[in-house]
Each structure stands twice: as C-alpha cells, then as structure tokens.
Amino acid sequence: MANNLLSRSWVEISLDSLSKNVLAVRELVGNDCRIIPMIKADAYGLGVDNVLASLEACNPWGFGVATVAEGCHLRDLGVDKPIVVFSPIPYQSYREALAADLTITLSSLESLERWLCVSKESRTCGRFHVEVDTGMGRAGFDWNTVDYWGEKLRMLAKRDQVVWEGTYTHFHSSDTDLGSSTEIQYERFCKTQRKLSQGDGMYHVCNSAAILVKPSFRADGVRPGIFIYGGNVGMSGQEPEPVVSLRARVVLLRDVEKNTTLGYGASYRSKGQERWAVLSIGYGDGFPRKLGNRGETLIHGIRVPIIGRVSMDTIVVNITELQGVKIGDVATLIGKDGGQAITLDEVADLAETVSYEILTGLTPRLPRVLV
C-alpha cells in the first residue's frame, strides 16, 4: 500500500497489473491480431499521462479515443501510432483531426463527402474507419441497407484524398449475452463486409467482453477497454488483475451515545454507544452517494460499514468493533488491505452502476499515485 503522506485521499494505479491485463488479451487473440487499447475519457479516469508508457510497451497497433481533443493530447505526448476517434465528431472538428493525423469514424455518406472536401482543401490524405450499425443503434451505416450505400461508399473512398483504413461494428450485449445477440451482430457484420469488399483495410469487432467470450471473432484487431483497467466483463469468467485502489485517511474519531443521528437527512441513528471514524472522501471525489448506509471500507484489514449519507467531502464508518484505529490511518474503499479486498465491481454493484462509471467518475481532486 502506498503511503501518500500529503493526500487526504487518493487513487493508486498498478502499472504492472495494467500491463498484465494487456498481455492477457494478447494471449487470447494471438500475435497476428492488432490490439487497439481504448484510452478515451483520460484512460478511463486513470490519467493518460500515467498509463501511456506502460501501454506503449505492450506494442499496440494504435489507440482508440472518443474525441479529437483526446487524440490531439496523445499527439502532444509524442504518440506516432494510429489514433482512431471512435465517436462521431462535429464537422467543424474535421480540420483539427486532419492536422493531428487522426483517423476518424464515419457513419454516413455525407460525413465522407465532408471529409473528402476538407482533405482536398488541406492537401492532406485523411484516414477513416467505417462504422457499421448491426444493432447498437447509436451510430454507423445501417447493415441492412448496404446495397444502397455500399457502392457509393466504395466510389467515394477511391479518391486520392482519403484512405479507407478500416471497418468495424460494436456489440451491444457481449458482456451479458454468451451467444445469441452477439452472434447475430457478427453475422450481420460479416455479410456487410463481404458486400463492401474493402480490400486491404482492417476489420475489428471485439470489445473487452467479446475478446474474452468470443475470441474467435477477433478479426484483424480488437479494442480492449475496461478489462485492461481492471474491470470485470460480465460472463467471461476471466478475472482481470486489479489495477485501481482507492484510499482515504481517517481524519476524525467520535464516541457517541445511543440515538445520535448522523449526516444529511439523519438517515442513521446509533443503536447504542458507538465509535465512528470520519474519512476524508466524498461524492466530490467521485465516491458514489448510493453507498451511504450500504457500502463498506477496509481499515486494518477489517470490513467496517459506511453509515449515514455520503457527503461531498466525507463519509463516516462505524468502528465500534474495531480496536486501535487512529487519526491518519488509511481506509481502503477499493482494493486490498491485509487478506481482505473490496473489488471495483463490488463497489459498482452496490452503487447500482458499472465499473466504467466508477473509474471515470473519480475526480481530479484525487491524486493518482503510481505503484
């Protein structure tokens, strides 16, 4: 456990575990498959600047982001590998994307025509990937109308100003469905792929869950995300190495009498004489409010319950049965302490959300500490 003396609370990041998770993906898909780590949302909240070197050491083909700004930041950090912007972007951002040599995602003939115009005016060859909507619904060319748009796409893509670099789809339920819907989407994509006859471009369909559940769908490349950052992916059965730990300090101890109320709404009332510890973390740091009166923390390797509502800057735990707690002691909200562990996914389940939201919700007020 890192001893971060200057912080009231902090996030620990295990770069060794991060690398092991990427290598686990490599073992599943083989050496001939390209790996495109998703590094959007500031590397799922861990901090791009913190994890980039470890990810690059795993020799990925390139990186996936969601915005032009994220791609430009990677270029500023010295990344010269391909960077694919996987979300639709405003037409006004096309010039900036082109100037940074970013590969954008296209979901319509109109967007391709705009990309062609900007590339021609800039005298720069613009790369793009085509997204095919096979059931996700939020973006992409409709697989069912490929006979309409496919030929037009091929004709436009032949022009010298652009390079059609790849084609992909996104599974909507690969983390919860062991077969049917994912297989249907894959079949739809394969039918579309055959009609497009892209040629030398790459094909990719697998996110984290699909990599683990359907590694045979790996195609030319895969896009691991939450798994490499330590989040479980549903029904795969393969556990990632834990990457993130969340710690906070005990900043106050209180001995209270029976029927003492606690916190906003007085949602907790002591059942007898109790000893409480105030921890220096709250929803202003990204700790979920839903964990009030239901979550737990580890202190000295022992689970203790969170009582009362989560405040913006503090939470309170009941340490009546735990001896020897001192101001300055470290509480673990995610991670290991002694022989006990509170996992990222346990916290997400209690908060009735997903691990993605827990990680990306950890605010900049929490220093990131590399361990």
Tell me the average pLDDT across 165-176. 92
What stretch of H or E contains 98? Answer: helix 94-99
Q: Which pLDDT score, from 0 to 100, does residue 111 have? A: 97
Where along the chain do its domains lie?
A: 15-229, 244-342
Judged by DSSP in three states, 84 sits in: strand
- Cα–Cα dist 26/326, whole Å: 45
Six-digit token string for 350: 């209690």
- Cα–Cα dist 225/149, whole Å: 30
Question: Do the Cβ atoms of 204 and 190 come closer than 8 Å?
Answer: no
- Cα–Cα dist 304/321, whole Å: 9
- Cα–Cα dist 140/169, whole Å: 8
Q: What percent of the chain has pLDDT over 70?
A: 96
- Cα–Cα dist 123/107, whole Å: 23
Question: Do the Cβ atoms of 13 and 49 come closer than 8 Å?
Answer: no
Q: What angle do CA 202, 20, 173 make, to 5 degrees?
A: 55
Side-chain half-sphere CA neighbours of 306 within 13 A: 28
Tell me the average pLDDT across 69-98. 98
What stretch of H or E contains 209? Answer: helix 208-213
Neighbouring CB atoms inside 10 A of 267's CB total: 13
**Residues with a known catalytic role:** 40, 264
Tell me the average pLDDT across 356-365. 98
Confidence class for position 324, pLDDT limits 50, 70, 90: very high
The region, left, alpha or beta by phi > 0 then psi within -120 to 50, assigned to residue 324 is: left
Indicate whether 189 pLDDT > 80.
Answer: yes
Q: Which pLDDT score, from 0 to 100, does residue 311 have? A: 98
* Concatenated DSSP letters of 245-309: EEEEEEEEEEEE-TT-EESGGG-EE-SSSEEEEEES--GGGT--GGGTTT-EEEETTEEEEEES-
Q: Which pLDDT score, from 0 to 100, does residue 160 have? A: 87
DSSP letter for 46, please. T
CA of residue 213 relative to chain centroid, distance: 18
CATH 3.30.428.10, domain 244-342, yes or no:
no
Q: Which pLDDT score, from 0 to 100, does residue 215 have? A: 85
Q: Which pLDDT score, from 0 to 100, does residue 5 have? A: 62
- Cα–Cα dist 364/371, whole Å: 18
Q: Which pLDDT score, from 0 to 100, does residue 316 have? A: 99
- Cα–Cα dist 207/174, whole Å: 8
Tell me the average pLDDT across 249-263. 98
Indicate whether 1 pLDDT > 60.
Answer: no
Indicate whether 339 pLDDT > 90.
Answer: yes
- Cα–Cα dist 193/166, whole Å: 11
Q: What is the mean pLDDT of the chain?
A: 95
- Closest by CA to 36, choosing from 240, 227, 222, is 222
Tell me the average pLDDT across 199-228. 92
Q: Which pLDDT score, from 0 to 100, does residue 237 have? A: 74
Confidence class for position 179, pLDDT limits 50, 70, 90: low
Q: What percent of the chain has pLDDT over 90?
A: 89
Confidence class for position 243, pLDDT limits 50, 70, 90: very high
CA dihedral 141, 143, 146, 149 (to 10 degrees): -10
Indicate whether 222 pLDDT > 80.
Answer: yes
Confidence class for position 178, pLDDT limits 50, 70, 90: low
Q: Which pLDDT score, from 0 to 100, does residue 283 have? A: 98
- Cα–Cα dist 254/300, whole Å: 18
Q: Which pLDDT score, from 0 to 100, does residue 199 have? A: 63
Tell me which of 37 and 180 has the higher pLDDT: 37
Question: Do the Cβ atoms of 351 and 288 come closer than 8 Å?
Answer: yes
Confidence class for position 118, pLDDT limits 50, 70, 90: very high
Indicate whether 2 pLDDT > 60.
Answer: no
Q: Which pLDDT score, from 0 to 100, does residue 134 have? A: 96
The second-level CATH assignment, the architecture, of 15-229 is: Alpha-Beta Barrel (3.20)
pLDDT tens column, 3-58 = 566 689 999 999 999 999 999 999 999 999 999 999 999 999 999 999 999 999 99
Six-digit token string for 354: 């997903």
